[in-house]
Amino acid sequence: MSQSTDALDRAIAQLHATSKSSSAYETGPMKVVGKGALRLDAVDKATGRIKYGQDLFDKKYRFAKVLRAAYPHAEIRGIDVRAAKKVPGVLAVLTHKDVTGTNLHGLIRRDQEVLCSHKVRYLGDAIAVVVARTEEVATAALAKIKVVYKPLPAVLTIEDALRPDAPKIHAEGNVLGEKHLRKGDAPKALREADVVVEDVIQTQTVDHAFLDLEAGRARYDGKMLTIEVSGQWLHEERRLIALALGLPLEKLRLIQPATGGAFGGREDISIQIYLGLAALKLKGQTVCLRYPRAESMIARHKRHPVRIHYKLGAKQDGTLVAAQVTFYVDKGAYASTGIAVMRKASSHATGPYKVPNVWVDVIGVFTNNNPCGAMRGFGATQTAIAYEGLMDRLAARLGMDKVDLRMKNLIRSGDAVTTGQVVPLATGVECFEAVLKRIDWKNRSYETPAPHLKRGYGVSVMCFGLGYGDGFPDASRAKCRLTDDGIVEVCSSGIDVGQGLTNMVAQIAAEEIGVPLEKIRPVLADTLLTPESGSTSATRQTYFTGSAVQLAASELKKQLQDIASAHLKELVYEIKIENGEAYNAFRPEQRLTLKELIREGRKRGFSLEATSVYKPPTMPEDTKTGQSMRAFVTYLFGSHACQLLVDTETGEVKVERYIACHDVGKAINPDQVIGQIQGGVAQGIGMALMEEVVMKDGKILNAGFTDYILPTIRDVPEIECIILENPDPGGPFGARGVGEPPLIATGPAVLSAIQDAIGKPVRVLPATPERIWRTINE
């Protein structure tokens, strides 16, 4: 049934050679960087040829299923698998007793059992893995496993969890940790402020809702356990799997299949260890596992719901003097990346605004809800909704234009953010001015077709510290290798989750070396073949892996220059490489082709490969004050404007116009930057208006797309993108990154516009029609 692959390959080559991207953006004099080059994987995706995890299945393989907890909080008194083992077609029924390593995982704390031995803490906890000849048999056998529980009272809210007599979810108690930031004297400054506004904002639990369900396969051949599952940091996942299963790292290979979205949802381990365990038990057989949507939503971590108490003080002229903020973070059952999310919330507590006195407390509390962890924006998302909301409340109180209030308080280049870190190039003002000009702020119109329709305009400005920061080792590695066929292989473990990392590394390598894009072959994310490049998260891949690729490419280029210099007998610093050919800039007629360079290089003993590591340091934030001279390697700025209509009779919102401006340093591929901005805005509209995981008694009531409402093509307006390019000295060709900021800026802009339309803030997210209607009529 397969189509003619050769013919299609020719068509792809022709398409890349003849078609131009339809981008409106093209910047700078460079040949490859700054161009909207077609995505290298787009044709394979548009024809259905590319293989995601589930596409690696075969009927001949073995199929696994996972037994989940029956209670959100319970002791396990016994597990009886005898009946399940007798089901015809069942090959193995595995419990904690079969796990030979620590049986623990978790990105920052190993606090979650792979297969629970004595206790379950949420309904997604796993108890057993069944492997059978078919998925249906495995499913049938799950029902035959008898688990004896002693149910414990479920702890479902932060208040319940903090009661002195609350049942302990973990032995050490229900508080995961706290994070503090102290700058100046906020209580005193608030007492002396001319105006103080105060509010409580509750954000919701959000699901990543990537479309490509958790799925993959594993095989153990007696020497190597190979696991093919989409993650976001293969080398860290390999470490976690090795610890849990008691394997040496060398016996474990992770390969990333094509990945259909991640958004932070693949940071925590998902099915990798179950698959590895099953494959180890069934040596020589390939084991597959896939989640249906409900299991995916029940098992996976979520975006933290956070209750934010925010007090903001200012002088009569609008100058901010103090902020006091407390974040109550529902961690759910396990730590996940929670501590890091909490730190991001605290270090971004006042966003891009100058506030001399700041007091922040963040407290993370365990409950028996779904664990919460990484999702695009990582704590900065919830925080921006709070500080921008408070800026709107303050402007209303002062009778000031909310734009003027923001402009007055935005940090400028050379000012410090909340952590005390000085930002040499702070372009929030530039971004803000660009969107205000585009929307023509002074001449905005409130005229609507009918009196029950109210128009509102919202704005937001955000800043975002890129990378892990806080002194955590943050490194990317890359390797560039020139093959005898004249192809430059660019190896890194960055992951193309859909954002376009493949083109990012390819375009940087092509530009740096001086070869056409079609001479670059990216080799990505296979622990046997590619060096560690950190996680694909924290908006860090362009900055970190992009830099590593540029460094390796530069080293390779130097070899080519040395070869040409020796062969042409010309000075090495006069040798140029362009379009794959080397020549002396002053005598361009004498040239060496790439083929000749390779042949000469081999003859002269050049390796024709180069490796690199890019590891810019940061400084830990002080544990008491949260202050650090360099908490993050660099900062990103952006600003959005939103125009919408609220139907005051129904509470429905129609977003009419949306403008997003981001300073990305340098757009390596402008089309992909626009793709990231528009996609982030769509997710932000989802979070602001409709998305919510509804939990009751520890159970998700809407574990499917019928009831978990996502934005469709009708909900997302045209998103006008403005790209600013103020180069960053630490990034490749000046690039910073763009992944998370567009989502962070969207919620605040939409909520700001709703408040403008109805005259009151919506304090609980998402701002559904019902909540808006109630806010109007309360």
Binders of other proteins among residues 109 to 128 (CB under 8 A) are none
CA–CA dist 315, 387 (Å, integer): 17
Task: Examine residue 7 and tell whether it contacts other proteins (CB under 8 A).
Answer: yes
In the complex, minimum distance from the CB of residue 302 to other proteins, in angstroms, rounded to a whole number: 15
When the beta carbons of 9 and 198 are compared against other proteins, the nearer one is 9
CA–CA dist 550, 666 (Å, integer): 14
Residue 778 per-residue DSSP state: -
Residue closest to 542 by CA, chosen among 466, 448, 637, 609: 466
CA–CA dist 738, 357 (Å, integer): 30
With vertex at residue 328, the alpha carbon angle to CA 325 and CA 330, rounded to the nearest 5 degrees, is 155
Binders of other proteins among residues 249 to 288 (CB under 8 A) are 258-261, 263
Binders of other proteins among residues 532 to 571 (CB under 8 A) are none
Binders of other proteins among residues 59 to 118 (CB under 8 A) are 59, 63
CA–CA dist 269, 530 (Å, integer): 20
When the beta carbons of 312 and 641 are compared against other proteins, the nearer one is 641
**Binding mask 504-523 vs other proteins (x if CB under 8 A, - otherwise)?**
--------------------
Sequence-distant (6+) residues with CB within 8 A of 14 are none
- Cis (ω within 30 of 0) for the bond into 766? yes
Bridge partners, residue 218, by sequence: 227, 287
In the complex, minimum distance from the CB of residue 216 to other proteins, in angstroms, rounded to a whole number: 14
In the complex, minimum distance from the CB of residue 642 to other proteins, in angstroms, rounded to a whole number: 14
In the complex, minimum distance from the CB of residue 721 to other proteins, in angstroms, rounded to a whole number: 9
In the complex, minimum distance from the CB of residue 693 to other proteins, in angstroms, rounded to a whole number: 15
Task: Examine residue 756 and tell whether it contacts other proteins (CB under 8 A).
Answer: no
When the beta carbons of 48 and 284 are compared against other proteins, the nearer one is 48
When the beta carbons of 494 and 531 are compared against other proteins, the nearer one is 494
How many residues lie near other proteins (CB under 8 A)?
75
Chain-centroid distance, C-alpha 186: 33
Stretch that binds other proteins, among 7-15, 235-243, 751-759, 769-777 (CB under 8 A): 7-15
Task: Examine residue 443 and tell whether it contacts other proteins (CB under 8 A).
Answer: no
Contact 376, 739 (CB under 8 A): yes
In the complex, minimum distance from the CB of residue 56 to other proteins, in angstroms, rounded to a whole number: 9
When the beta carbons of 563 and 681 are compared against other proteins, the nearer one is 681
Sequence-distant (6+) residues with CB within 8 A of 538 are 378, 466, 467, 468, 740
When the beta carbons of 564 and 655 are compared against other proteins, the nearer one is 655
Task: Examine residue 248 and tell whether it contacts other proteins (CB under 8 A).
Answer: no
When the beta carbons of 670 and 698 are compared against other proteins, the nearer one is 670
Binders of other proteins among residues 287 to 306 (CB under 8 A) are 292-293
In the complex, minimum distance from the CB of residue 248 to other proteins, in angstroms, rounded to a whole number: 33
CA–CA dist 522, 538 (Å, integer): 22
- Pairing verdict, β 175-183 and 90-94: unpaired
505, two tokens: 């590394």
In the complex, minimum distance from the CB of residue 6 to other proteins, in angstroms, rounded to a whole number: 8
Binders of other proteins among residues 402 to 421 (CB under 8 A) are none
Stretch that binds other proteins, among 79-87, 410-418, 537-545, 673-681 (CB under 8 A): 673-681
Q: Give the CA distances from residue 561 to residues 435, 505, 585, 667, 671, in Å, rounded to whole numbers and listed in that order.
A: 45, 22, 12, 28, 32
Task: Examine residue 326 and tell whether it contacts other proteins (CB under 8 A).
Answer: no
Stretch that binds other proteins, among 52-60, 144-152, 463-471, 623-631 (CB under 8 A): 52-60
Among 713, 729, 777, 778, binds other proteins (CB under 8 A): 713
Task: Examine residue 448 and tell whether it contacts other proteins (CB under 8 A).
Answer: no
Contact 461, 406 (CB under 8 A): yes
Binders of other proteins among residues 199 to 218 (CB under 8 A) are 209-213
Residue closest to 195 by CA, chosen among 383, 361, 395: 395
In the complex, minimum distance from the CB of residue 278 to other proteins, in angstroms, rounded to a whole number: 16
270, two tokens: 């998902």
When the beta carbons of 43 and 390 are compared against other proteins, the nearer one is 43
Binders of other proteins among residues 458 to 497 (CB under 8 A) are 497
Task: Examine residue 690 and tell whether it contacts other proteins (CB under 8 A).
Answer: no
Contact 584, 570 (CB under 8 A): yes
**Binding mask 161-200 vs other proteins (x if CB under 8 A, - otherwise)?**
----------------------------------------
| DSSP per-residue letters across 510-544 | HHHHT--GGGEEEEESBTTTS-----S-TT-IIII
In the complex, minimum distance from the CB of residue 730 to other proteins, in angstroms, rounded to a whole number: 27
Sequence-distant (6+) residues with CB within 8 A of 124 are 68, 69, 298, 299, 300, 370, 371
Binders of other proteins among residues 717 to 736 (CB under 8 A) are 718-719
Query: At what angle are helices 769-777 and 741-758 packed, to 10 degrees?
Result: 40
When the beta carbons of 639 and 678 are compared against other proteins, the nearer one is 678
How many other β-carbons are positioned within 10 Å of the β-carbon of residue 406?
Answer: 27
Element (H, E) at 17: helix 5-18
**Binding mask 8-47 vs other proteins (x if CB under 8 A, - otherwise)?**
x-xx---x---xxxxx------------x-xx-xxxxxxx
